[in-house]
């Protein structure tokens, strides 16, 4: 468990003055990650996306640690190359420091175009932490649907219209896909619970091998809510079990945060403009379907958590 007093002594490695939107969740993820990772020197790899374009506008940079970006779909392959150089130079005695490598990608760069690169890197066992800052659509290009976009969400390529009701399909379950790589540490987290997230980053960095964290990161522009509501919206994702906080350590599942009382999904959907059309009377069946999916997954996860309490993998 992280200690806020101790953490607050860690130097800020990401400066203010970046160009992320007011109320953007991603900037908070970056800051909390660097604070969590302060124990050791760190190299950051970024995929093309909001964070990269907003923090590295030449000749400026927000990063006080080494930061490298090359393309959109290859954050994990890039981190693989850096980790291989690290191993090689260390083995040859050309480098003595212990260094952590953290790769970031948005959901587009992770769930979609970068999935092959990520899967390859995890399978090869490069020691890196890959963090997906998941805002559930291609926000940098203007809110297009990705395979992380939830059912019913209005995006510019799966819009709500006279006959369409937003995205027809549900999200891909990337966290479980990563768990299926049998890497030492996989976790799902949400913005608005710094303690849970920072603990996960620290556990992930301590793991003996590759680690993956999928953090739900609200986008006030794409989700269409008031900028000051970012943390509240993220917490509602956990409290409705839309986005449970759990971890998979060596195949064993554990739910890290149980909601005090499981709220109906409408509480998460209501404040967000992207779900507005679902509240028309004729779309009641869609809300029901979404609720059912969430209930089913939550039950599955609880079963896995029960097995986990006995030390059994799911």
Applying CB under 8 A, the residues found at the interface with other proteins are 41, 43, 45-46, 52-53, 56-59, 61, 63-71, 73-74, 77-82, 84-89, 91-92, 95, 97, 99, 116-117, 119-121, 123-124
Yes or no: say if 145 and 155 are a contact pair by the CB < 8 Å rule: yes
DSSP state of 201: H
Report CA 80 to chain centroid distance, whole Å.
19
**Cβ-based neighbour number of residue 290 at 10 Å:** 21
Nearest approach, Cβ of residue 288 and other proteins (Å): 41
Stretch (H or E) spanning 173: none
Measured in degrees and rounded to the nearest 5, phi and psi for residue 242 equal: -65, -35
Q: Would you say 112 or 305 has its CB closer to other proteins?
A: 112
Q: Would you say 68 or 258 has its CB closer to other proteins?
A: 68
Nearest approach, Cβ of residue 36 and other proteins (Å): 18
- Helices 230-239, 25-36: axis angle to 10 degrees equals 80
Q: Would you say 71 or 307 has its CB closer to other proteins?
A: 71
Nearest approach, Cβ of residue 130 and other proteins (Å): 14
Nearest approach, Cβ of residue 21 and other proteins (Å): 16
Instruction: Report whether the peptide linkage leading into residue 59 is cis, meaning its omega lies within 30 degrees of zero.
Output: yes
Q: Would you say 116 or 141 has its CB closer to other proteins?
A: 116
Q: Would you say 120 or 227 has its CB closer to other proteins?
A: 120
Q: How crowded is the C-beta side of 221, counted as CA atoms within 13 Å?
A: 15
Taken in order 282, 287, 292, 297, the sign of the CA dihedral is positive
Nearest approach, Cβ of residue 127 and other proteins (Å): 13
């Amino acid at each position: 468990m992280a200690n806020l007093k101790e953490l607050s002594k860690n130097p800020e490695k990401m400066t203010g003055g970046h160009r992320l939107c007011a109320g953007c969740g991603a900037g908070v993820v970056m800051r909390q990650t660097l604070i969590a990772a302060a124990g050791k020197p760190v190299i950051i790899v970024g995929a093309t996306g909001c964070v990269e374009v907003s923090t590295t506008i030449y000749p400026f940079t927000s990063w006080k640690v080494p930061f490298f970006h090359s393309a959109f779909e290859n954050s994990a392959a890039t981190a693989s190359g850096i980790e291989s150089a690290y191993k090689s130079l260390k083995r040859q005695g050309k480098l003595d420091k212990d260094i952590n490598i953290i790769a970031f990608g948005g959901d587009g760069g992770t769930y979609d175009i970068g999935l092959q690169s990520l899967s390859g890197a995890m399978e090869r066992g490069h020691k890196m932490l890959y963090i997906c800052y998941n805002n559930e659509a291609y926000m940098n290009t203007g809110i297009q649907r990705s395979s992380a976009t939830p059912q019913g969400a209005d995006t510019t390529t799966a819009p709500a219209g006279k006959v369409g009701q937003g995205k027809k399909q549900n999200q891909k379950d990337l966290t479980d896909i990563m768990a299926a790589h049998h890497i030492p540490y996989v976790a799902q987290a949400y913005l608005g619970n710094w303690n849970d997230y920072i603990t996960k980053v620290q556990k992930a960095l301590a793991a003996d091998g590759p680690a993956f964290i999928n953090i739900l990161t609200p986008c006030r522009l794409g989700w269409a809510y008031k900028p000051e509501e970012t943390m509240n919206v993220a917490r509602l994702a956990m409290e409705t079990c839309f986005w449970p906080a759990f971890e998979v350590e060596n195949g064993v599942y554990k739910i890290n945060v149980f909601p005090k009382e499981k709220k109906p999904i409408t509480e998460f959907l209501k404040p967000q403009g992207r779900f507005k059309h679902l509240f028309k009377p004729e779309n009641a069946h869609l809300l029901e379907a979404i609720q059912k999916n969430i209930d089913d997954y939550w039950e599955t996860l609880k079963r896995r958590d029960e097995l986990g309490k006995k030390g059994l993998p799911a």
